[in-house]
């Protein structure tokens, strides 16, 4: 009889090889099945258990910033098997120094660098939540990972957080010798709002003709802040295959639907339009020349459809793009490293993609 840790390891190993690969509109599309279930149209059993636990608790009746921030994240686990050092730094900036954490494998070799931007709807999230995923990414990619504590709304509306993230990219590039990293191997990555910031940094990098970013990994990214229909995108619940736990799954999918424009109110505060490409990258007129992209989505995530649309947009404009969908997963599964084997596999895929696309 396997214990829970052994079961987790077996399922993680299965995810590394279990996949359905298709090329759809020039996008290499990989479907990762639930590793211990052949049932379609349902949640992963681990997700189901967590969601049922949430459903049994008292629901929130209105948005409260402090409560929303406190509810973010998950007590995830350190899954590294080697020694990863952690250093706290302050990145100098004209707008105020930016806290960051550096995660580095113990090696003397010059490494690639990955800047990681945490999720949290542009108003929440912390470096603590993504510490263990970043440490695992540093190990698997054999890279320096720089986790950036960018400024949050509503105290600091757009574009403050984006400016911090881009300043961090500049700092890593300029300090490459001191950091012992290869300035021709710099990547950006992030989950949810962090995925938005990562690809917006790529748009800024191209607009400034700097070409400092060589790879982007976007985990269930926000790329259409207002869920506005485009030629590539129209959100429909019918696009989700739901065969079991119908009401529960519909609630899971709809949980991130921003029908009252909360993020617009909190993040933008009238400082930009919802269709500004740096707010909603799906509205960029031209994404030619952006770095190779990996986009990771969860089957039962409201943001899945816009992530898929962005993958097709990138590929259509000649950007090498890989799309991975994890069946049975919901939003924020990456946070549950050590509980969901998909979270670990996600970091492995980012590491593998960087090695493939930037060599």
* Catalytically active residues, by annotation: 192
> What is the rounded CA–CA span in Å between residue 325 and residue 251?
20
Distance CA 112, CA 198 (A): 17
- Nearest of 324, 322, 320 to residue 291 by alpha carbon: 320
Q: Residue 251 corresponds to which tokens in the numbers above?
A: 């609630």
For CA atoms 216, 222, 227, 228, give the dihedral sign.
negative
Given its phi and psi angles, is residue 292 left (phi above 0), alpha (psi -120 to 50 degrees) or beta?
beta
Cβ atoms of residues 116 and 322 within 8 Å: no
């Amino acid at each position: 009889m396997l214990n829970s840790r052994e079961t987790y390891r077996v399922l993680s190993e299965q995810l590394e090889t279990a996949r359905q690969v298709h090329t759809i509109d020039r996008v290499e599309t990989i479907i990762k099945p639930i590793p211990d279930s052949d049932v379609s149209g349902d949640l992963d059993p681990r997700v189901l258990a967590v969601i049922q636990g949430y459903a049994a608790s008292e629901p929130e009746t209105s948005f409260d910033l402090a409560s929303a921030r406190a509810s973010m994240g998950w007590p995830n686990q350190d899954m590294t098997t080697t020694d990863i050092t952690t250093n706290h730094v302050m990145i100098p900036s004209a707008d105020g120094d930016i806290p960051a954490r550096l995660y580095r494998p113990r090696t003397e070799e010059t490494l690639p660098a990955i800047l990681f931007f945490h999720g949290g709807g542009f108003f929440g999230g912390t470096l603590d939540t993504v510490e263990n995923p970043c440490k695992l990414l540093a190990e698997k990619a054999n890279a320096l990972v720089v986790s950036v504590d960018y400024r949050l709304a509503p105290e600091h509306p757009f574009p403050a957080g984006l400016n911090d993230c881009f300043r961090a990219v500049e700092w890593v590039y300029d300090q490459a010798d001191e950091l012992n990293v290869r300035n021709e191997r710099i990547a950006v990555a992030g989950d949810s709002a962090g995925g938005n910031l990562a690809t917006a940094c790529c748009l800024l990098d191209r607009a400034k003709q700097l070409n400092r970013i060589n790879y982007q990994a976007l985990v269930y990214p926000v790329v259409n802040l207002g869920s506005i229909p485009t030629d590539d995108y129209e959100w429909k619940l019918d696009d989700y295959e739901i065969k079991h736990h119908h009401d529960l799954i519909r609630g899971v999918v709809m949980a991130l639907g921003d029908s009252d424009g909360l993020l617009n109110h909190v993040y933008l505060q009238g400082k930009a339009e919802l269709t500004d490409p740096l707010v909603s990258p799906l509205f960029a007129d031209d994404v030619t020349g952006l770095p190779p992209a990996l986009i990771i989505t969860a089957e039962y995530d409201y943001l899945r459809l816009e992530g898929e649309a962005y993958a097709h947009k990138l590929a259509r404009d000649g950007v090498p793009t890989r799309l991975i969908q994890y069946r049975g997963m919901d939003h924020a599964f990456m946070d549950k490293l050590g509980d969901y084997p998909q979270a670990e596999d996600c970091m492995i895929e980012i590491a593998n993609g960087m090695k493939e696309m930037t060599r």
